[in-house]
Structure 1
Amino acid sequence: MIVLTIDQRRSRSTEDKVEALVKQANATVSVVRPFQRTAGDEVQAVLDDANEAIRLAVMMAASGDWSVGLGFGQVETPLPEETRAGRGPAFEFARVAVERAKNTNAHLAVHGPSHEATRLEAELQLTACIVSKRRATAWEAGTLADEGMTQQEIAKELGITQQAVSSRLSAALWFEANRMMDEAAKSLNRQLNMLKEQ
């Protein structure tokens, strides 16, 4: 299982964003146990979809508003209905990871029962740093690209040239970052499958 522990940064000097995150994440992400406030400005959820977990972790960390800890491993079953009542190594790994994330430039850390966690962390930290530097215009073009539109179609939709679309996607390393997250998800899925076989 995957446990995400997400802690709001600068919570004492900014508005509480936890409830909005909980509502939005539970409406858009497939979860085994829902996003729930655990203590103070912290949120936790249990997932089994590596792709969704990784993309959410990167996007939350890249926003600059959150420190994100991704833990993977075994959990005690049956899982309780309340996310915050969950126990097991994956929960402990997520706790270690979020504390470490608070002291990184990427605001993201990964912890798990294998050395693969170290490589995953390096990949996702770099990806989060890349994503954090994207401009609004890159998000505009990239989101349409992710929906399957061609650069010509995006250019027509946005009222710009195809060259401008290409420039925005290239400057944002849009496809490269997506590929990095896809490969990280495959790696995490392999780790989860190995854990199931133990």
Structure 2
Amino acid sequence: MFVITADQVASRREADRAGPLIAHLAERHGDQLLLPVDQTAGDEVQLVTTSAEAALAIVLDATRTGRWSVGLGVGDIRTPLPDATRKATGTAFIAAREAVGAAKRADGRFALRAAPIASGITVADVEPLVRLLVLLRERRTDPGWEVVDLMHDGRLQKEAAAILDVSAAAVSARLRAALWRAEAEATPALVRLLRELDAEATHAASG
């Protein structure tokens, strides 16, 4: 299981951004969540999913603006599930709590933690690679994001050029500068690593 906990940066100086983030994540990932997105202590947002693909996508969405410290916890969740995420417990929640604390001091404001694992793939194998992807995306410009978002929506490059009223060559140049292909190629590999980490944590918990 995967638990994502996001804590707003500089929350004492800025308006509460939890509501907009909850609405955004619920719209994009709601069908992949075990329980609805929840606001927990103060300005924290928490989600639970069984999907490694959804977990990575949520991390990338939540870290995009730089306004959230994001912790990803991997482990088990106590059943039966309650009616709200904030009421749930388990090693994945403990790991997510440790991760979000570490994320506040980490490059990219992301950290990964997992339930104790006896052997196999570890947090140290996965966390730096996810962080590299987060940092890559941090360097992306607004024009780069315009094109990348259209690609993620399934548009062709010529369609993106027409929508943005730029040349096809300009779209291609923006995608290269945005390192879009590197992200697209890295994402499936990171999903596989997270899936393996989850399997190891589940095996350790059951054994």
TM-score normalised per structure 2? 0.88
1:36 equivalent in alignment to 2:41: no
In the aligned structure 2, how far is the partner of 1:143 from the partner of 1:175?
13
- Tell whether 2:172 aligns with 1:170: no
Q: Does 1:153 align with 2:181?
A: no
Which runs of 5 or more structure 2 residues have no equivalent in the other structure? none
> Which of these residues, 188, 191, 196, is aligned with residue 197 of structure 2?
191
**Percent of paired sites with the same residue:** 33
How does 1:107-118 map onto structure 2 within 5 Å? 107-113=109-115, 114=117, 115-118=121-124
Q: Which residue of 1 aligns with 2:185?
A: 179
Q: Does 1:85 align with 2:91?
A: no
Aligned residue for 1:179, secondary structure, equals helix
* 1:96-130 deviation digits (Å, cap 9, x = unpaired): 00000000121000111345322221011111111
Contact 2:2-2:52 within 8 A present in 1 as well: yes
In the other structure, the counterpart of 1:27 is 27
Question: 2-side partners of 1:161 and 1:27: how far apart?
Answer: 32
1:58 and 1:150 map into 2 onto residues whose CA distance is 22
The code of the aligned residue for 2:26 comes to: N
The answer on whether the counterparts of 1:59 and 1:131 sit within 8 Å (CA) in structure 2 is no
For 1:151 and 1:23, the matched residues in 2 are separated by 29
Q: What is the TM-score when the length of structure 1 is the normalising length?
A: 0.92
2:150 is aligned with 1:144: yes
Aligned positions, number: 198
How big is each residue's C-alpha offset from its partner over 1:55-76, in whole Å with a ceiling of 9 and x where there is no partner? 2212312311100000011111
- Give the Cα–Cα distance (whole angstroms) in 2 for the partners of residues 124 and 91 of structure 1: 19
**Aligned with 1:71: secondary structure?**
strand
Q: 2:185, 2:6 → 1: CA distance?
A: 24
- Report the CA distance between 1:4 and its aligned residue: 0.5
Of 118-127 and 3-12, the range deviating more from structure 2? 118-127
Aligned partner letter, 1:170:
R
Shift, 1:196, TM fit? 5.0
Contact kept? 2:123, 2:197, Cα under 8 Å: no
After the TM superposition, which of the residue ranges 141-150 and 117-126 deviates more from structure 2? 141-150
Secondary structure of the residue aligned to 2:40 is strand
Contact 1:58 1:108 in 2 (8 A): no
Residues 1:62 and 1:25: Cα distance change in structure 2 (over 3 Å) = closer
RMSD: 1.7
* Structure 1 residues not aligned, in runs of 5+: none
Tell me if the contact between 1:111 and 1:118 (Cα under 8 Å) persists in the aligned partners.
no
Q: Distance in 2 between matches of 1:153 and 1:85?
A: 45
* 2:73 partner letter: G
d(CA) in 2 for partners of 1:98 and 1:83? Answer: 16
- Structure 1 partner of 2:7: 7
SS of match in other structure, 2:111: strand
3-state SS, counterpart of residue 190 of structure 2 = helix
